[in-house]
Amino acid sequence: MSEPTAPSVPPTPPVPLSALLAREDLGLRQIAGPTAPDTAIHWVHTSEMADPYPYLLGGELLLTAGVHVPEAAGADGGALCSGEYFEDYVSRIVAAGGAALGFGLAPVHDTVPRALVAACEAYGLPLLEVPPRTTFSGVARAVWQLMAQARLAELRRVTEAQQSLAAAASRPDPVPSVLRQLAQRLAAHALLYAPDGTAIASAGRAPVPGTQEALRKLTAVVRPDTGPENTPRDAPASATDSLGDTQLAAYALGGSSGFVLGVATRRREPADHTIASVAAVLLSLLTGEHQSGAGAARSSALVRLLLGAAPAEVAGLLGSGGRWLVVHARPENGIPDPVGAAALGAALGSPLIDLGRDVVRVLVPAGREPAAQPGWTLGVGAPAEPDGWPSADAQAARALARARATRAPLVRHGARPGLSELVPRPDAEEHARALLAPLAAGPALTETLRTWLSLHGSWDRTAVALDVHRNTVRQRITRCAALLDTDLDDPDVRMELWFALRHH
């Protein structure tokens, strides 16, 4: 059997299986498999395929009514064929990374097949009994509701933490105040390390034995001047590790300043990284970049540019070796703010940030490959020398547009231009307006068409994504086809519509 695949994690927080089982309105009951409290559900999928493997992304709660089960392998079956069938079925779900299996009672089966219970127990797959009164769409709706509640709670927690950290930074003793507030918000032990590796300030509950030494070693990973024989080297903006049940994290402050924030927590929550990154930005400002001369060098570069120097002449003052990446970013909710933009720059490992009206631009050394950031949509240009920065800026803008259109957390500019790059944006937008004009009066039609095309014409997945009945999806798509006077089964038509929707 192949190893389970790592799920492609969606931008919404996962739902603990225990939270779903606690919903009295669903009446779900776990009858096999481990009862680990950290089992997470990332999405819900319904399938009556005998082999659902090709249709699973990983992390799903797979729902089935057992239509695919051969009669010989039913609830009363105890023969060899019964065991073999369910072992093959369950092993394929596990190999695809499925998180749990829900078996619906009635109208096909009155009870869950005993051989299926045994197979789930053997392969360690949680098996849920779904009562007749509970619909699969009701289970899916409950998962999306729990995800929305978790996301709202996460955003509220981050917002409150940002406000309290900013208030702490304005106190007469800002550095200890920020550390204390961070430790309180994360229920953590927080330390500030000087460039020589000495802990100069700390806050929070006493750590377990060995934590401070483990954190000190982890800070060396992100400190830029601790390579072999103290030779300069690029270092990541943050690093994580663990010591038993304690989660460790280190954040470099101020690029190459050498100051490092260390955090030790008993458990790592989804928003912890964002909150710690905000604290790292504030501490970067408070410790001051004059320690390493990086701030003075950037100021000198800015002055020379204003006085007429070419970018290539001042790029060396920025200290990256010449090649840079331009990153465009937009927050998933609202407009960018200074604190969020600074936290994004810290997470990407660069203080070179431009906060625009609706987009944040970050200039990142080419040696630091940007990664997707929670709460942000990113577009990344190709590595460029200073004379190629304007082109890289345009590439990053186009990559961000593609990321938003496809709802991907990060898109990189490719060597091969896409269709959207070959058509001037004003022309593409005008074409989109003309083509989609018949749908202008119905925003729900446009959104349904966009979702349906993005999910390759799947009625069920579109219904789940929009939280509507599959018949509603069919009716809306039929209405779209009539208004557009076109055949939506034609791949050329689908391609043109998708192109238009990306620019709509």
Pairing relationship of beta strands 15-16 and 40-41 according to DSSP bridges: antiparallel
Is the pLDDT at 18 greater than 70? The verdict is yes
Higher-confidence position of 499 and 91: 91
Is the pLDDT at 361 greater than 50? The verdict is yes
From 106-110, 192-196, 232-236, 365-369, the region with the lowest mean pLDDT = 232-236
| Contact between 368 and 348 (Cβ < 8 Å) | yes
CA distance 331 to 341: 9
Confidence at 342, pLDDT banded by 50, 70, 90: confident
CA-based torsion, 26, 458, 412, 394: positive or negative: negative
H or E segment at 354? strand 353-355
Higher-confidence position of 95 and 300: 95
CATH architecture of 171-291: 2-Layer Sandwich (3.30)
- Tens of pLDDT, residue by residue over 203-217, are 887 777 888 888 888
Confidence at 220, pLDDT banded by 50, 70, 90: confident
Q: Where are the alpha helices (DSSP H) in 70-173?
A: 80-95, 114-123, 136-169
- pLDDT for the residue 125: 96
Is the pLDDT at 284 greater than 50? The verdict is yes
Confidence at 415, pLDDT banded by 50, 70, 90: very low
Report percent pLDDT > 90 for the chain. Answer: 26
Higher-confidence position of 39 and 198: 39
Higher-confidence position of 373 and 9: 373
Enumerate helices (H) and strands (E) in the chain, giving the number of each.
17, 17
Higher-confidence position of 95 and 200: 95
- Tens of pLDDT, residue by residue over 245-263, are 888 888 888 655 678 899 9
Is the pLDDT at 8 greater than 60? The verdict is no
Confidence at 440, pLDDT banded by 50, 70, 90: confident
Confidence at 344, pLDDT banded by 50, 70, 90: confident
Report percent pLDDT > 70 for the chain. Answer: 84
From 129-133, 205-209, 288-292, 467-471, the region with the lowest mean pLDDT = 288-292
Confidence at 72, pLDDT banded by 50, 70, 90: low
Q: Looking at mean pLDDT, say which of 52-66, 145-159, 227-241 comes out highest.
A: 52-66
- pLDDT for the residue 7: 44
- pLDDT for the residue 277: 87
H or E segment at 129? strand 127-130
Is the pLDDT at 349 greater than 60? The verdict is yes
Rounded to the nearest integer, the mean pLDDT of the chain is 82
Confidence at 291, pLDDT banded by 50, 70, 90: very low
CA distance 373 to 169: 24
Pairing relationship of beta strands 353-355 and 360-365 according to DSSP bridges: antiparallel
Is the pLDDT at 33 greater than 90? The verdict is yes
| Contact between 261 and 283 (Cβ < 8 Å) | yes
**CA proximity to 61, closest of 103, 89, 32, 23:** 103
CATH of domain 423-502: 1.10.10.2840
Q: Where are the domains of the chain?
A: 15-145, 171-291, 323-418, 423-502
Confidence at 4, pLDDT banded by 50, 70, 90: very low
323-418 belongs to which CATH class? alpha beta
Is the pLDDT at 292 greater than 50? The verdict is no
- pLDDT for the residue 213: 85
CATH superfamily of 15-145: HprK N-terminal domain-like (3.40.1390.20)
- pLDDT for the residue 157: 87
Is the pLDDT at 343 greater than 80? The verdict is no
Question: 423-502: same fold as 323-418?
Answer: no
Is the pLDDT at 339 greater than 70? The verdict is no
